Amino acid sequence: MTDAAPAPRPIAVALFISVFVIAACGLLYELAAGALASYLLGDSILQFSTVIGTYLFAMGVGSWLSRYLNRPLAAHFLRIELLVALVGGTMPGALFAANAWLPGAFHFLLYLMVMAVGTLVGLEIPLVMRILQRDVKFKDLVSQVLTFDYLGALAVSLAFPLLLVPRLGLVRSGLLFGIMNALVAVWALWLFRRELPRRAEHVAACVMVLALLGAGMAGAEKITTLAEDHFYQSPIAFAATTPYQRIVVTHGRGGYRLYLNGNLQFAESDEYRYHEALVHPAMAAHGAPKKVAVLGGGDGMAVREILKYPGVESVTLVELDPAMTRLFSDTPQLARLNHHALTDPRVHVVNEDAFQWLQHGKDTFDVIVVDFPDPTNFAIGKLYTNSFYALLAERLAASGYAVVQTTSPLVARQSFWTVVRTIESVGLAAVPYHAHVPSFGEWGFVIASRRPWRAPAALPAGLRFLDAGALAAMLDFPRDMARVPAEVNRLSNQVLVHTYEQEWGRVSH
């Protein structure tokens, strides 16, 4: 009969708990960097892929470098914890600030900080294992360290989208986990108090790092507001970070402006041009629309235009982000812009992914207004694919019309005609048109239907932009916006996302 393995000493238990915290903090920094990059640069798959790849490579570098750290190991571990706390904890705030004041340096700073954090995290686990090997057998050491490491990663991967980002935001989440890393250093300071040389210096370093991170935590909202005020060139009226996006509403001389992940969605001064052009060519041409659906458009502006038709009996608004519909229904200043449309008894708000909603529902609609953000990443790009339009066709009544906002046919000509080609590929007739919206420039739309579309004989009273003459001009495409050959955008290739990024990238650079 073999002897039972001795119970681990309290110091070993403490270090295993530290591994859990270290893993959670390391993954939090990685997720925060990927989320910030996707918010600010678009194309979430590319940003998360490159950030994660860089981070894992840096962890490998750190693991390799750990062989050169000799005794006292506890002192090295404590210093590395403080460095991780400082660099990782301040990374989201530093990146927000860089995007506002040094946009040209954003990429460099992003990958520099990801490399630094990854290298330091890569140093941590080998050091802990070397410290623990005097108390725990090797076969138990590896399994137990990896178990706590993976459990920490699991915990933060669930907490990040469900709790941390919605409640704290990215900047505060980074600082909170930086404080946790610093507290691990304080714990190590106490655990190894008899082994550490120059203990007073380590105490001072711990106090300084905790003070800096605590000050950052207290001023996190101010840091974010200053950076975004500078970036948007107008005071921030409302801002929220949700599991889906960063919502910012500014208020300046031209009124309110809505930004999602840094991209302008509407400006109060001219949004009527966009929303009148989006809604009325389809609604008025139908003749007697009763059931209408709006996909996207959580600001309620498209719903406002739809409710100008007295025959409308129900409007179903499908908006993924409940924070958007709450903001534009509960905030008086913003609800005023959509004429309190979202609280109209005829309006039913569904907070669900539009793709899933189309798949699972059976109702058909006389008019469907599709008002999604531009396809800046694959998550949004799926809503511009032939798979999505095939589902859209199934939910469209035989005599119904759908209308899709479709980026700029002047700036992103290939992207615009890719959407037209994709709609046609599912058997729907497509009528492209465009309107000039000063905040955006020339902007495109497409009406999709089974029956031919004809210009309406009448439009609702009180429109500020659209009339018969304006509508006729919107159907004419000059040579520099005329149709070009384009591929079908499919879920399997998402060619539109790449095309869109190339075309708009030329403008921004």
Same domain, 214 and 237: no
- DSSP reduced 3-state for 453: coil
CATH code of the domain containing 396: 3.40.50.150
Instruction: Decide: residue 73, CB within 10 A, 0-12 exposed, 13-18 middle, 19+ buried.
Output: middle
pLDDT digits (tens, 9 = 90+) for 380-426: 899 999 999 999 999 999 999 999 999 999 999 999 999 999 999 99
466-485 pLDDT, tens per residue? 999 999 999 999 999 999 99
Same domain flag for 326 and 340: yes
Q: Which of 251, 338, 206, 287 is nearest to 449 (CA)?
A: 287
* Residue 224, domain member (yes or no): no
Q: CATH no. for residue 90?
A: 1.20.1250.20
Residue 3 lies in a domain: no
Say yes or no: 377 and 486 in one domain. yes
Q: Would 4 be classed as within a structural domain?
A: no
Using a pLDDT cut of 70, give the percent of the chain over it. 95
Q: Give the residue among 417, 360, 371 at the shortest CA–CA distance from 394.
A: 360
Q: Are residues 85 and 233 in the same domain?
A: no
Domain boundary among 187, 219, 251: 219
Find the angle CA(237)-CA(238)-CA(242) to the nearest 5 degrees: 160
What string of H, E and C letters represents the secondary structure of 391-453? HHHHCEEEEEEEEEECCCCCCCHHHHHHHHHHHHCCCCEEEEEEEEECCCEEEEEEEEECCCC
Judge whether 463 lies within some domain.
Answer: yes
Q: Which residue has the higher pLDDT, 142 or 318?
A: 318
Residues 321 and 428 in one domain: yes
Q: Are residues 492 and 463 in the same domain?
A: yes
Q: Is residue 5 part of a domain?
A: no
Q: What is the mean pLDDT of residues 439-465?
A: 95
**Confidence class for position 125, pLDDT limits 50, 70, 90:** confident
Looking at the domain assignment, is residue 1 inside a domain? no
Given a cut of 80, whether residue 249 has pLDDT beyond it is: yes
19 pLDDT band, cuts 50/70/90, is: confident
One domain, residues 204 and 276: no
- Confirm whether 426 is domain-assigned: yes
Rounded CA gap, 83 and 182, in Å? Answer: 9
- What is the value of pTM for the model shown? 0.77
Whether 348 and 496 share a structural domain? yes
pLDDT, one tens digit per residue, over 284-340 is: 999 899 999 999 999 999 999 999 999 999 999 999 999 999 999 999 999 999 999
Instruction: Tell me, yes or no, if 371 is annotated catalytic.
Output: yes
Sheet holding 263-267, edge to edge: 236-241, 246-252, 255-260, 263-267
Domain membership of residue 2 (yes or no) is no
Residues 299 and 237 in one domain: no
Q: Which of 265, 287, 319 is the last residue of a domain?
A: 265
pLDDT (average), residues 249-257: 91
Please give the residue range of the domain that contains residue 417.
269-508
Does residue 286 share a domain with residue 164? no
Per-residue model confidence (pLDDT) at position 7: 45
Query: Are 287 and 251 in a shared domain?
Result: no
177 and 256 co-located in one domain:
no
pLDDT tens digits along 163-186? 888 788 888 999 999 999 999 889
Distances (CA, A) of 204 to 6, 78, 198, 309: 37, 12, 10, 69
The count of structural domains within the chain is 3
Candidates 43, 270, 344, 371; catalytic one: 371
Residue 2 predicted with pLDDT over 50 = no
Model confidence pLDDT, tens digit, residues 41-78: 766 677 888 999 999 999 999 999 998 888 788 888 88
Q: How far is Cα 386 from Cα 375, in angstroms, rounded to an integer? A: 14
Q: What percent of the chain has pLDDT over 90?
A: 60
Is cis: bond before 289, omega within 30 of 0? Answer: no
